[in-house]
Amino acid sequence: MTRLFGTDGVRGLANDTLTAPLAMKLGAAAADVLTRDRPSSGRRPTAVIGRDPRVSGEMLAAALAAGLASRGVDVLRVGVLPTPGVAFITDDYGADIGVMVSASHNPMPDNGIKFFSKGGHKLPDSVEDEIEKAMDSVECQGPTGTGIGRIIEEATDAKDRYLKHLAESNILDLRGLKVVVDCANGAAHEVAPEAYAAAGAEVVAIYDKPNAYNINDDCGSTHPQHLQKAVVEHGADLGLAHDGDADRCLAVDAEGNMIDGDQIMAVLAIAMKSSNTLRLNTLVATVMSNLGLKIAMKREGIDIVETAVGDRYVLEELNASGYSLGGEQSGHIVLPKHATTGDGTLTGLKIMSEMARTGKSLKELAGVMTVLPQVLINVPVADKSRIMLAPEVVEAQATAKEELGDSGRVLLRPSGTEQLFRVMVEAADQEHARKVAGRIAAVVASA
């Protein structure tokens, strides 16, 4: 049986594989599991539900609220808010459950459901498995009468609380910096420009007018070309690109060059080492991070711990070992002192704070790391689970590794959120990496 939860919650085509009845059952099951060991306090458990602006979010949030309330949970709906904002508000309100309805960077027709436990923490696999099992029994009799949960529509102070939290996260005065921010017509369309302006930056916002249908549509962190052009046209010091739920951030320097998550981590790791805030002198990254990051960190005397792909695995390592910085090449940057998940707006503020502190351009700061050529090919497949075991794929991977030797690497993995198989190759030469990746991708496609 295919597991319902993927790398980042439950995700699928809204009203097809991800339906309102499924969301209602998920809400009820999550209520049963996440409040099961809750000590008696004389009040009902509470849940926070936020969403990004895509049209199906309204339907799914309503279904989740109904499911939660049917099991005796009071629900606070906070409307459109970034994923890290929902995580923060879950903790700030003292709620027992947090829920974010978003498919992050996926196209508008998709949607997803992410759960947070008390304190705003993502759930481990074991707890997600419990929720999945509990869905079989949610038809059992729930509470009646006064035991049914209440639903409060649009808790009005959530955004202001989140903005106040961002402002208090050791941000320097950003006056003198001009930033273009691509909001992806997503959850950060208000929060990100307001947070940057409140810190003193001059802000030019683009793709900040969601209409329920245009989220991630040729914009945001997966389509940065328009941001690159806008930064140059506006004479800005930098650009920042968020995804649909704003838990990630990529950057653009003043010349329009992309600065990815690896480079951002390099900048922040070195800054935190110099201020003695890089715990255990260690950065947590995933197996997808560029070899150039490892080389740069070794030169700077900073250790790297690698995890599987997914910011939840970065978070698990950060929390288990007490590290203070981690992230992904895709722009999920986690700073546990300030956030329980990746926070794109916070990342943007930290990047600009380092520019303000040092007086250096983003290009100069990011120059501490040389990005080695890396090619990623996403191959559509019918069955992700069998590709890794296909003999022809195993042979193609082994041949490529032998060919590249110590000067490159090969990484094959199924997508955790889409019906894709990812082929990543790094090599000293871009053309060589492209040829090797193309050869393996062809084998995957035929398999």
Check the annotation: does 245 bind a ligand. yes
List the one residue out of 331, 332, 295, 339 whose CA is nearest residue 313: 332
Residue 375 to residues 231, 328, 398, 430: CA-CA distances in angstroms? 26, 16, 17, 8
Please check whether residue 32 is in contact with residue 25, taking contact to mean a CB–CB distance below 8 angstroms. no
Rounded-to-integer distance, Cα 301 and Cα 282, Å: 9
List the one residue out of 365, 367, 286 whose CA is nearest residue 331: 286
Rounded-to-integer distance, Cα 61 and Cα 99, Å: 9
Give the pairing of strands 97-101 and 46-51. parallel
- Catalytic annotation present for 104: yes
Check the annotation: does 247 bind a ligand. yes
Please check whether residue 379 is in contact with residue 439, taking contact to mean a CB–CB distance below 8 angstroms. no
Q: Of the residues 104, 169, 324, 330, which is catalytic?
A: 104
Check the annotation: does 104 bind a ligand. yes
- CA-only gyration radius of the chain, Å: 22
Q: List residues forming the annotated binding site for Mg(2+).
A: 104, 243, 245, 247
Active site residues: 104
Q: List residues forming the annotated binding site.
A: 104, 243, 245, 247
